[in-house]
Structure 1
Amino acid sequence: MSNGLLIIDVQKGMFQEGDTVFKGDKLISTLQGVIKKARASSTPILYIQHNAPVGKPLEYGSEGWEIHAEIAPHLGDVIIQKATPDSFLNTTLEEELHKKGIKHIYIAGIQTEACVDTTCRRAFSMGYKVTLLSDSHSTWSSSEISAQQIINHHNGVLRWFADVYPSKEVEFR
């Protein structure tokens, strides 16, 4: 079964001073390790890039829209544009996965309760084997609960749709 790594919405706009995603530096460091392991095993990496409307932090074509430089794509990586929390809806993701023979998707990125959750559930519903990297996604605190609580909750709930493992336990083959 061929594997693929999806990195969702890790864009500069998610790291704005004063409004940085929860443990953003740790997220980048963890993703660098995951990417290194994926590249060492020739696992395809697919970057999902959110296109937000004018005036938003991820406004298409703006500096905030750019993929974070510390995990930037290499030649041969695929970049897929999206406009909703679902990385499959009105995108080329399914076509790219099919072209590469990918049946097992490893998911990481931002935002835990939105794009990561939605993509995880959708991939499961489409018949993909899904692994959520429990320490490789993040979000922001809400007025009701902390970012860590949101992450912990989703790592538990998404076990219905994915295997959930920390990145150190994942070996791409």
Structure 2
Amino acid sequence: MPQQALLVMDVQRSIVARYPDPGYLPRLGAAIDAARAAGLPVIYVVVGFRPGQPEISVRNKMFGRLAGVAMPAGDEGTQIHPDVAPAQGDIIVTKRRVSAFAGSDLDMVLRAGGIEHLVLTGIATSGVVLSTLRQAADLDFALTVLADGCLDNDPEVHRVLTEKVFPVQADVTTVADWAAATSAALW
């Protein structure tokens, strides 16, 4: 079986706050616990920029509004939500755009670790999950999406992506089913 890693993407405090779902962080925590119990790497992907945001172009429709905005170092909103905080040994990768691969060293970390299969979770389904899935598929990674480990502000968009779009390039399952299968693989 190819070596897997769980990607926990964009679960920073300010992002989680915009997607109110009281069951989300506990479900995500269950996926993280299952990965750790199985000895799988847990990789957190966060969006971040240098002071002054030199990586941001005003032409970028999504991030351009942040160009030149003063962001205090260590801003609490940019931190990973404490309910799913990294543990010792987990990896944190900083990206500069929507895809987890864009402007980050994620590909290097994965290849150095012999990772061939990515298990995707994160906020938002139509943002980081979609962009990362597409790029990862083009990079020949095997993919699994934990549908209830992803959130989107539009439930219909989430449904269409997880039921119709993602299955073309990935296996789509639930946190509970993936955790059970991951646990069973240990025995």
TM-score for the superposition, normalised by structure 1? 0.87
Mapped contact 1:51–1:59 kept (Cα < 8 A): no
Aligned with 2:92 (options 68, 79, 85): 79
2:32 maps to which residue?
A: 35
Mapped contact 2:16–2:123 kept (Cα < 8 A): no
Separation in structure 2 between the aligned mates of residue 70 and residue 105 of structure 1, nearest angstrom: 22
> 1:21 corresponds to which letter in structure 2?
Y
1:14 maps to which residue?
A: 15
Q: Deviations over 1:11-53 (max 9, x none)?
A: 100233xxx3042x21101011001100100000000001164
Aligned with 2:123 (options 100, 110, 128): 110
Which stretch shifts more, 82-91 or 127-136? Answer: 82-91
Match of 1:88, SS state, is: coil
Match of 1:102, SS state, is: coil
1:164 maps to which residue?
A: 172
Superposition deviation, residue 55 in structure 1: 5.2
Separation in structure 1 between the aligned mates of residue 99 and residue 73 of structure 2, nearest angstrom: 17
Separation in structure 1 between the aligned mates of residue 138 and residue 24 of structure 2, nearest angstrom: 27
CA gap of 1:90–1:60, structure 2 versus 1, over 3 A, is farther
Separation in structure 1 between the aligned mates of residue 173 and residue 12 of structure 2, nearest angstrom: 23
Separation in structure 1 between the aligned mates of residue 95 and residue 157 of structure 2, nearest angstrom: 23
Separation in structure 2 between the aligned mates of residue 110 and residue 135 of structure 1, nearest angstrom: 11
CA gap of 1:45–1:60, structure 2 versus 1, over 3 A, is farther
CA root-mean-square deviation: 1.8
Identity %: 27
Separation in structure 2 between the aligned mates of residue 72 and residue 157 of structure 1, nearest angstrom: 30
Superposition deviation, residue 154 in structure 1: 0.9
Separation in structure 1 between the aligned mates of residue 86 and residue 69 of structure 2, nearest angstrom: 25
Q: 1:85-96 maps to which residues of 2 (within 5 A)?
A: 85-96=98-109
Aligned residues: 162
TM-score for the superposition, normalised by structure 2? 0.81
The list of structure 1 runs, each at least 4 consecutive aligned residues, that deviate by more than 2 angstroms after superposition, is 52-56, 58-61
1:144 maps to which residue?
A: none
2:76 maps to which residue?
A: 63
Alignment of 1:46 onto 2:54: no
